[in-house]
Every structure is written in structure tokens, then in C-alpha cells.
Amino acid sequence: MSTILVTYYSRSGNTETVAKAIHGALAGAEILPFSQVNGLDGYDFVFVGFPVEMHSLPYPVELFLRRIPAGKAVALFSTHGSLQGHRLSREALEYAVLIAGQAKIAGTFHCRGRLSEGARTALAKSPEHREWADMAVSAAGHPDAADLEEARTFARRMEMLAAHGGY
């Protein structure tokens, strides 16, 4: 059986909620906020989750992804305020795949995550953030039950790959 770690960075709890759903769908996996991870040697497969921030990844996550050992099997997931499937909700994840290019990326998952009305209004004042911040009005209530069910399905698919797919 492969050893699986679910690790995440989360400022306001949305990514943590998704990480817990993923962890809950896996038999015998570990879950740790990524600041508590001391190396990945003991794990065959690692889920890494983060919120989209300023069209990108939080910097500590970027550093973490760059340091993943070559060949390590990894699944990435993110939460975002912008609409599901929109370019603005995918760009950070695509960048994450790029910078973790030394790892073997088995799959990705993303879903919406609410942000406080105060933060949303403040960020919407900047021209470079208005588009996603306007979309984020309808992220209220996310991640919801359907998001978490999809996250669990993603987790089980990745687990199958980890066990049988050569990852």
C-alpha cells in the first residue's frame, strides 16, 4: 500500500476544508498543514493544496513546489473566488503544474472558495483584481457539499493511480 500525504496552505479555511475532504476519502493517509511537513521521503504520493492569491500561488507554496524531489508523484488542488472553469480560476494551477515540473503530476482539482465581503470589496477596487473579485460574489457558500463530493471523487481516482497506475 502506498503512503499518502495530504498537505495544504490555507489562510481562511477553504483549502483546509477541501484538504480534509480529500483526506477523509483516503484510507490511512496523513494530513498536515504544509508548514509542518519535514521532507517528503516517507511518502509515495503527495496531495498539495493552496488558495489562488493575486492570480498566483502564495509564495511559500511556490517555494514548496519548487523543492519537491524529482519524480515524486503529486496531485495539486486549489480553491479560488473566480468562476469554476474560467481562465482566472485555472491560471494559478497551470503555473503550479509548471513550477513543480520535476514532480510527476498525476492530476489536478479546483473548486470555488468564499472570501469575506470586506476583503472582496477592497480587492475589487484594484483594476487588476476587479474581474475575479466581481465573480467572487457568487463564491459565497463554497466549498459546498457538491464541491467536497467532487474532491472526494478526485481523491479516490488519485489513490487508484497511486496504487495501480505506476505513480
**Footprint on this chain of ligand FMN (rule: CB under 6 A):** 10-16, 51-55, 79-82, 88-89, 113-115, 119, 123, 132
Nearer to ligand FMN, 31 or 52 (CB): 52
Query: CB of residue 102 vs ligand FMN: minimum separation in angstroms?
Result: 25
d(CA 22, CA 54): 25
Nearer to ligand FMN, 140 or 163 (CB): 140
Nearer to ligand FMN, 7 or 89 (CB): 89
Nearer to ligand FMN, 67 or 86 (CB): 86
Query: CB of residue 136 vs ligand FMN: minimum separation in angstroms?
Result: 6
Query: CB of residue 105 vs ligand FMN: minimum separation in angstroms?
Result: 20
Query: CB of residue 92 vs ligand FMN: minimum separation in angstroms?
Result: 7
- Which residue number has the CB closest to ligand FMN? 113
